[in-house]
Amino acid sequence: MPGAALIGWAAGRVAAADAWWRAGVPALRLAWVRALVGLYCLIMLLARVPSFTRLARFEPDRFEGVGVVSLLGAPLPFAAALATLALALLGSLAFSLGWRYRVTAPVFALALLWVTSYRNSWGHMSHSEHLVVVHVLVLSLVPAADALSLDARAQRTRERDPAHYGWPLRLLMLTVAISYMLAGYAKLSNGGWAWVNGDAIRNQIANDTLRKLRLGAFPSPLSPPLLRQPWLFGGLAVGTLAIELGAFMALVDSKLRAAWVVAAWVMHLGILAAMGIAFPYPISGIAFASFLPLERVHDRIQSRYGPLSGPG
Protein backbone atom coordinates (compact mmCIF):
# COMPACT_ATOMS: atom_id res chain seq x y z
CA MET A 1 0.00 0.00 0.00
CA PRO A 2 1.80 3.19 -1.17
CA GLY A 3 0.12 5.37 1.49
CA ALA A 4 1.34 3.20 4.35
CA ALA A 5 4.82 2.99 2.83
CA LEU A 6 4.92 6.77 2.55
CA ILE A 7 3.81 7.14 6.15
CA GLY A 8 6.43 4.66 7.25
CA TRP A 9 9.11 6.51 5.31
CA ALA A 10 8.03 9.94 6.60
CA ALA A 11 7.78 8.65 10.18
CA GLY A 12 11.26 7.18 9.84
CA ARG A 13 12.67 10.50 8.57
CA VAL A 14 11.00 12.46 11.35
CA ALA A 15 12.24 9.98 13.96
CA ALA A 16 15.77 10.15 12.52
CA ALA A 17 15.70 13.96 12.51
CA ASP A 18 14.37 13.94 16.08
CA ALA A 19 17.05 11.49 17.19
CA TRP A 20 19.73 13.66 15.56
CA TRP A 21 18.43 16.95 16.97
CA ARG A 22 18.08 15.53 20.47
CA ALA A 23 21.15 13.30 20.51
CA GLY A 24 22.80 13.50 23.89
CA VAL A 25 26.01 15.29 24.77
CA PRO A 26 27.66 15.71 28.18
CA ALA A 27 26.26 18.48 30.40
CA LEU A 28 29.80 19.85 30.61
CA ARG A 29 29.84 20.83 26.92
CA LEU A 30 26.81 23.10 27.24
CA ALA A 31 28.08 24.37 30.59
CA TRP A 32 31.42 25.37 29.06
CA VAL A 33 29.63 27.24 26.27
CA ARG A 34 27.57 29.10 28.90
CA ALA A 35 30.67 29.96 30.94
CA LEU A 36 32.60 31.18 27.90
CA VAL A 37 29.71 33.21 26.45
CA GLY A 38 29.11 34.76 29.90
CA LEU A 39 32.78 35.62 30.29
CA TYR A 40 32.80 37.13 26.80
CA CYS A 41 29.79 39.29 27.71
CA LEU A 42 31.44 40.41 30.94
CA ILE A 43 34.56 41.55 29.06
CA MET A 44 32.49 43.10 26.24
CA LEU A 45 30.35 45.09 28.67
CA LEU A 46 33.39 46.27 30.65
CA ALA A 47 35.01 47.36 27.38
CA ARG A 48 31.82 49.23 26.45
CA VAL A 49 31.69 51.28 29.68
CA PRO A 50 33.64 54.26 28.22
CA SER A 51 31.55 54.42 25.03
CA PHE A 52 28.37 53.97 27.06
CA THR A 53 29.22 56.88 29.31
CA ARG A 54 30.04 59.02 26.25
CA LEU A 55 26.45 58.55 25.05
CA ALA A 56 25.42 61.09 27.70
CA ARG A 57 27.28 63.77 25.71
CA PHE A 58 25.47 63.04 22.44
CA GLU A 59 22.68 65.29 21.25
CA PRO A 60 19.32 63.66 22.14
CA ASP A 61 18.06 64.10 18.55
CA ARG A 62 20.66 61.53 17.46
CA PHE A 63 18.76 58.87 19.40
CA GLU A 64 16.73 56.50 17.26
CA GLY A 65 15.71 53.40 19.21
CA VAL A 66 16.29 49.98 17.65
CA GLY A 67 14.74 46.66 18.69
CA VAL A 68 13.23 46.69 22.17
CA VAL A 69 14.59 50.21 22.75
CA SER A 70 12.33 51.54 19.99
CA LEU A 71 9.72 51.65 22.77
CA LEU A 72 11.56 54.75 24.01
CA GLY A 73 10.81 58.08 22.37
CA ALA A 74 13.88 59.75 23.89
CA PRO A 75 17.14 58.68 25.58
CA LEU A 76 17.00 57.48 29.17
CA PRO A 77 18.36 59.69 31.93
CA PHE A 78 22.07 58.96 32.25
CA ALA A 79 21.70 57.33 35.70
CA ALA A 80 19.01 54.95 34.42
CA ALA A 81 21.13 53.99 31.41
CA LEU A 82 24.10 53.29 33.68
CA ALA A 83 21.90 51.27 36.06
CA THR A 84 20.88 48.90 33.23
CA LEU A 85 24.54 48.55 32.24
CA ALA A 86 25.44 47.72 35.85
CA LEU A 87 22.61 45.16 35.97
CA ALA A 88 23.89 43.55 32.76
CA LEU A 89 27.44 43.48 34.13
CA LEU A 90 26.38 41.76 37.35
CA GLY A 91 24.13 39.48 35.32
CA SER A 92 27.01 38.40 33.10
CA LEU A 93 29.00 37.44 36.20
CA ALA A 94 26.10 35.36 37.60
CA PHE A 95 25.54 33.83 34.14
CA SER A 96 29.13 32.74 33.62
CA LEU A 97 29.38 31.38 37.17
CA GLY A 98 25.99 29.67 36.95
CA TRP A 99 24.62 31.27 40.13
CA ARG A 100 20.86 30.96 40.71
CA TYR A 101 20.71 30.38 36.98
CA ARG A 102 16.98 29.88 36.51
CA VAL A 103 16.35 33.41 37.73
CA THR A 104 19.55 35.30 36.93
CA ALA A 105 20.01 33.98 33.38
CA PRO A 106 16.73 35.35 31.92
CA VAL A 107 17.24 38.62 33.82
CA PHE A 108 20.74 38.91 32.38
CA ALA A 109 19.54 38.03 28.86
CA LEU A 110 16.93 40.80 28.95
CA ALA A 111 19.38 43.29 30.48
CA LEU A 112 21.96 42.49 27.78
CA LEU A 113 19.32 42.81 25.07
CA TRP A 114 18.34 46.20 26.43
CA VAL A 115 21.87 47.54 26.91
CA THR A 116 23.15 46.46 23.49
CA SER A 117 19.98 47.72 21.78
CA TYR A 118 20.34 51.05 23.60
CA ARG A 119 23.97 51.41 22.57
CA ASN A 120 23.07 50.65 18.95
CA SER A 121 20.38 53.34 18.95
CA TRP A 122 22.66 56.32 18.30
CA GLY A 123 23.07 56.37 14.55
CA HIS A 124 25.14 53.28 13.89
CA MET A 125 24.24 49.63 14.24
CA SER A 126 27.21 47.41 15.07
CA HIS A 127 26.63 43.95 13.60
CA SER A 128 29.16 42.42 15.97
CA GLU A 129 26.70 42.12 18.87
CA HIS A 130 23.67 40.47 17.29
CA LEU A 131 24.79 36.85 17.54
CA VAL A 132 26.04 36.97 21.11
CA VAL A 133 22.71 38.44 22.24
CA VAL A 134 20.81 35.66 20.44
CA HIS A 135 23.10 33.09 22.07
CA VAL A 136 22.55 34.50 25.55
CA LEU A 137 18.78 34.57 24.99
CA VAL A 138 18.83 30.89 23.96
CA LEU A 139 21.20 29.85 26.77
CA SER A 140 19.05 31.61 29.35
CA LEU A 141 16.14 29.29 28.53
CA VAL A 142 17.96 25.93 28.62
CA PRO A 143 19.63 23.96 31.44
CA ALA A 144 23.11 25.29 30.79
CA ALA A 145 24.18 25.47 34.44
CA ASP A 146 23.75 21.82 35.41
CA ALA A 147 27.53 21.47 35.48
CA LEU A 148 30.51 23.75 36.03
CA SER A 149 28.40 26.14 38.07
CA LEU A 150 27.83 27.45 41.55
CA ASP A 151 24.35 25.93 41.36
CA ALA A 152 25.87 22.49 40.74
CA ARG A 153 28.39 23.00 43.52
CA ALA A 154 25.60 23.95 45.94
CA GLN A 155 23.52 21.02 44.65
CA ARG A 156 20.70 23.34 43.59
CA THR A 157 20.71 21.47 40.30
CA ARG A 158 21.86 18.11 39.03
CA GLU A 159 22.91 16.60 35.75
CA ARG A 160 20.04 15.13 33.72
CA ASP A 161 19.84 12.80 30.77
CA PRO A 162 22.41 13.86 28.13
CA ALA A 163 19.53 14.41 25.65
CA HIS A 164 18.80 17.66 27.53
CA TYR A 165 22.11 19.21 26.48
CA GLY A 166 22.44 18.22 22.83
CA TRP A 167 19.63 20.16 21.17
CA PRO A 168 20.45 23.51 22.82
CA LEU A 169 23.96 23.21 21.37
CA ARG A 170 22.55 22.32 17.94
CA LEU A 171 20.22 25.31 18.22
CA LEU A 172 23.20 27.57 18.95
CA MET A 173 24.98 26.09 15.91
CA LEU A 174 21.87 26.67 13.83
CA THR A 175 21.79 30.36 14.83
CA VAL A 176 25.44 30.67 13.78
CA ALA A 177 24.70 28.95 10.46
CA ILE A 178 21.63 31.13 9.80
CA SER A 179 23.50 34.34 10.54
CA TYR A 180 26.29 33.47 8.08
CA MET A 181 23.84 32.27 5.43
CA LEU A 182 21.86 35.49 5.74
CA ALA A 183 25.08 37.46 5.27
CA GLY A 184 25.82 35.45 2.13
CA TYR A 185 22.28 35.87 0.87
CA ALA A 186 22.47 39.65 1.44
CA LYS A 187 25.63 39.82 -0.67
CA LEU A 188 24.02 37.97 -3.56
CA SER A 189 20.70 39.83 -3.37
CA ASN A 190 22.25 43.31 -2.89
CA GLY A 191 25.49 42.96 -4.83
CA GLY A 192 24.64 40.26 -7.38
CA TRP A 193 27.29 39.39 -9.96
CA ALA A 194 29.51 42.28 -8.85
CA TRP A 195 29.92 40.49 -5.53
CA VAL A 196 30.83 37.21 -7.17
CA ASN A 197 33.48 38.64 -9.51
CA GLY A 198 35.23 40.56 -6.73
CA ASP A 199 34.46 44.12 -7.89
CA ALA A 200 32.09 44.74 -4.99
CA ILE A 201 34.50 43.60 -2.28
CA ARG A 202 37.35 45.59 -3.85
CA ASN A 203 35.25 48.74 -4.05
CA GLN A 204 34.00 48.13 -0.49
CA ILE A 205 37.54 47.97 0.88
CA ALA A 206 38.65 50.96 -1.23
CA ASN A 207 35.63 53.00 -0.09
CA ASP A 208 36.07 52.03 3.54
CA THR A 209 39.78 52.84 3.54
CA LEU A 210 39.39 56.17 1.75
CA ARG A 211 36.43 57.15 3.94
CA LYS A 212 38.56 56.60 7.04
CA LEU A 213 41.40 58.63 5.54
CA ARG A 214 39.06 61.56 4.74
CA LEU A 215 37.61 61.48 8.27
CA GLY A 216 41.07 61.53 9.83
CA ALA A 217 40.79 57.96 11.11
CA PHE A 218 43.35 55.19 10.72
CA PRO A 219 42.60 52.49 8.14
CA SER A 220 44.26 49.10 8.22
CA PRO A 221 47.89 49.48 7.06
CA LEU A 222 47.38 46.35 4.94
CA SER A 223 44.49 47.69 2.87
CA PRO A 224 46.44 50.04 0.50
CA PRO A 225 48.92 47.31 -0.59
CA LEU A 226 46.02 44.82 -0.87
CA LEU A 227 44.06 47.21 -3.09
CA ARG A 228 47.02 47.39 -5.45
CA GLN A 229 46.56 43.64 -6.18
CA PRO A 230 43.13 43.62 -7.91
CA TRP A 231 43.54 40.03 -9.14
CA LEU A 232 43.12 38.80 -5.54
CA PHE A 233 39.54 39.96 -5.07
CA GLY A 234 37.73 37.40 -7.24
CA GLY A 235 39.11 34.56 -5.12
CA LEU A 236 38.39 36.40 -1.87
CA ALA A 237 34.78 37.00 -2.93
CA VAL A 238 34.13 33.38 -3.95
CA GLY A 239 35.79 32.15 -0.74
CA THR A 240 33.66 34.47 1.38
CA LEU A 241 30.44 33.36 -0.31
CA ALA A 242 31.41 29.68 -0.02
CA ILE A 243 32.04 30.04 3.72
CA GLU A 244 28.85 32.01 4.38
CA LEU A 245 26.44 30.05 2.19
CA GLY A 246 28.08 26.75 3.17
CA ALA A 247 27.55 27.34 6.89
CA PHE A 248 24.84 24.68 7.06
CA MET A 249 27.39 22.03 6.14
CA ALA A 250 29.03 22.62 9.51
CA LEU A 251 25.74 21.87 11.19
CA VAL A 252 24.90 18.62 9.42
CA ASP A 253 28.33 17.18 8.69
CA SER A 254 30.48 16.66 11.76
CA LYS A 255 33.56 15.97 9.60
CA LEU A 256 33.30 19.37 7.91
CA ARG A 257 32.57 21.17 11.18
CA ALA A 258 36.13 21.88 12.27
CA ALA A 259 37.15 22.90 8.73
CA TRP A 260 34.24 25.35 8.47
CA VAL A 261 34.94 26.87 11.89
CA VAL A 262 38.60 27.43 10.96
CA ALA A 263 37.60 28.89 7.56
CA ALA A 264 35.06 31.28 9.13
CA TRP A 265 37.58 32.35 11.76
CA VAL A 266 40.25 32.99 9.11
CA MET A 267 37.70 35.01 7.10
CA HIS A 268 37.15 37.31 10.09
CA LEU A 269 40.91 37.70 10.52
CA GLY A 270 41.04 38.65 6.83
CA ILE A 271 38.32 41.30 7.31
CA LEU A 272 40.26 42.68 10.28
CA ALA A 273 43.49 42.79 8.27
CA ALA A 274 41.94 44.27 5.13
CA MET A 275 39.50 46.75 6.63
CA GLY A 276 40.47 47.12 10.29
CA ILE A 277 36.95 46.02 11.21
CA ALA A 278 36.85 43.54 14.09
CA PHE A 279 34.04 41.15 14.85
CA PRO A 280 35.22 40.21 18.36
CA TYR A 281 32.72 37.40 19.00
CA PRO A 282 33.84 35.16 16.12
CA ILE A 283 37.47 36.32 16.32
CA SER A 284 37.57 35.27 19.99
CA GLY A 285 36.36 31.85 18.83
CA ILE A 286 33.53 31.91 21.38
CA ALA A 287 30.86 32.30 18.67
CA PHE A 288 31.90 28.84 17.52
CA ALA A 289 32.20 27.24 20.98
CA SER A 290 28.97 25.25 20.50
CA PHE A 291 30.62 23.43 17.55
CA LEU A 292 33.46 22.07 19.66
CA PRO A 293 33.71 19.11 22.08
CA LEU A 294 34.71 21.34 24.97
CA GLU A 295 34.36 18.59 27.58
CA ARG A 296 37.57 17.11 26.18
CA VAL A 297 39.36 20.37 26.94
CA HIS A 298 37.85 20.19 30.41
CA ASP A 299 39.21 16.67 30.88
CA ARG A 300 42.65 17.76 29.77
CA ILE A 301 42.64 20.73 32.13
CA GLN A 302 41.49 18.48 34.99
CA SER A 303 44.11 15.86 34.30
CA ARG A 304 46.79 18.54 34.38
CA TYR A 305 45.58 20.90 37.12
CA GLY A 306 43.08 18.87 39.18
CA PRO A 307 39.28 19.17 39.56
CA LEU A 308 37.72 22.36 38.15
CA SER A 309 34.44 22.10 40.03
CA GLY A 310 32.67 20.25 42.80
CA PRO A 311 29.56 18.18 42.22
CA GLY A 312 28.52 18.34 38.61
Partner 1 sequence: MKSTSAVVVFVIDLPHVVRLRDRAQPALAVYGLSFGVALAMLSPVLRQPPLDGFPLSTYPMFSTARPAISEFPTLLGVTSSGEREVLSPALISGDPWAILAFETVRTAKRGGKRRRRALCEAVAARVADDDERAGVYAQIVFVTETYDAPAYFFGDTNPRSIKVHATCPVPR
Write out the binding residues for partner 1, residues 244-303 only, by CB under 8 A: none
Look up residue 81 and give its amino acid.
A
Q: 165 with 143: CB under 8 angstroms?
A: yes
CB closer to partner 1 out of 128 and 284 = 128
Minimum CB separation from partner 1 for residue 301, in Å? 29
x/- string (CB under 8 A) for partner 1, residues 98-117? ---------------x--xx
Residues 173-232 that bind partner 1 (CB under 8 A): 174-175, 178-180, 182-183, 185-187, 189-192, 194-195, 199-204, 206-207, 209-217, 224, 227-228, 230
Q: 3-state SS of the chain? A: CHHHHHHHHHHHHHHHHHHHHCCCCCHHHHHHHHHHHHHHHHHHHHHHHHHHHHHHHCCHHHCCCCHHHHHCCCCCCHHHHHHHHHHHHHHHHHHHHCCCHHHHHHHHHHHHHHHHHHHCCCCCCCCCCHHHHHHHHHHCCCCCCCCCCHHHHCCCCCCCCCHHHHHHHHHHHHHHHHHHHHHHHHHHHHHCHHHHCCHHHHHHHHHHHHHHHHCCCCCCCCHHHHHCCHHHHHHHHHHHHHHHHCHHHHHHCHHHHHHHHHHHHHHHHHHHHHHCCCCHHHHHCHHHHHHCCHHHHHHHHHHHHCCCCCCC
CB closer to partner 1 out of 169 and 289 = 169
CB closer to partner 1 out of 135 and 257 = 135
CB closer to partner 1 out of 24 and 310 = 24
Query: How big is the site for partner 1, counted in residues (CB under 8 A)?
Result: 81
Q: 247 with 260: CB under 8 angstroms?
A: yes
Among 53, 78, 127, 300, binds partner 1 (CB under 8 A): 127
> At 157, phi and psi to the nearest 5?
-145, 170
CB closer to partner 1 out of 195 and 288 = 195
CB closer to partner 1 out of 62 and 296 = 62
Minimum CB separation from partner 1 for residue 42, in Å? 18
Minimum CB separation from partner 1 for residue 39, in Å? 19
Minimum CB separation from partner 1 for residue 214, in Å? 5
Among 39, 82, 125, 222, binds partner 1 (CB under 8 A): 125
Minimum CB separation from partner 1 for residue 100, in Å? 21
Residues 145-164 that bind partner 1 (CB under 8 A): 160-161, 163-164
Residues 25-64 that bind partner 1 (CB under 8 A): 51, 54, 57-58, 62
CB closer to partner 1 out of 150 and 240 = 240
Minimum CB separation from partner 1 for residue 164, in Å? 6
